[in-house]
Structure 1
Amino acid sequence: MANVVVPLADGFEEIEAMSIIDILRRAGINVVIAGLHDGYISSTRGVKVIPDTTIDKINPDDFDMIVLPGGQPGTDNLNADERVKNLIKHFYNKGKLTGAICAAPYVLSEAGVLEGKKATSYPTYKDKLKNVNYLEDMVVEDSNVLTSRGPGTAACFALKIVEKLVGKEKADEIKKATLFDKCC
Structure 2
Amino acid sequence: MAKVLVPLADGCEELEAVTIIDLLRRAGVEVIVAGLKPGVVKASRGVQLVPDVTLDQALADAYDMVVLPGGMPGAAHLKDDVRVVDLLKKMASAGKYTAAICAAPMVLAEAGLLRGKQATSYPGFLDGVPDVTLRAEAVVQDGTVLTSRGPGTAMDFALQLVETLVGRAKREQVETALVRP
TM-score, reference length from structure 1: 0.95
Please state which structure has a larger fraction of its residues in helix.
1
Distance in 2 between residues matched to 1:167 and 1:94, nearest whole Å:
21
**Any residues of structure 2 matched to 1:1-184 within 5 Å, and which?**
1-59=1-59, 62-180=62-180, 182=181
8 Å contact from structure 1 (residues 123, 149) kept in 2: yes
Distance in 1 between residues matched to 2:22 and 2:52, nearest whole Å:
14
Q: Following TM superposition, where does structure 1 have runs of at least 4 consecutive aligned residues deviating by more than 4 angstroms? A: none
Distance in 1 between residues matched to 2:136 and 2:32, nearest whole Å:
29
Change (3 A) 1:60 1:142: farther
Q: CA deviation at 1:60?
A: 6.3
- The one-letter code sitting in structure 2 at the alignment partner of 1:119 is A
Change (3 A) 1:60 1:139: farther
Q: CA deviation at 1:126?
A: 3.3
Distance in 2 between residues matched to 1:58 and 1:2, nearest whole Å:
15
3-state DSSP of counterpart to 1:11: coil
8 Å contact from structure 2 (residues 4, 64) kept in 1: yes
CA offset digits 1:118-145 (Å, max 9, x no partner): 0000012130533201100111011100
Which runs of 5 or more residues in structure 2 are unaligned?
none
Q: CA deviation at 1:59?
A: 3.5
8 Å contact from structure 2 (residues 105, 126) kept in 1: no
Which runs of 5 or more residues in structure 1 are unaligned?
none
3-state DSSP of counterpart to 1:92: helix
Task: Please report the RMSD computed on the Cα atoms of aligned residues, expressed in angstroms.
Answer: 1.1
3-state DSSP of counterpart to 1:159: helix
- The one-letter code sitting in structure 2 at the alignment partner of 1:51 is P
TM-score, reference length from structure 2: 0.97
- The one-letter code sitting in structure 1 at the alignment partner of 2:152 is G
CA offset digits 1:75-110 (Å, max 9, x no partner): 111111101100111111100010000000001001
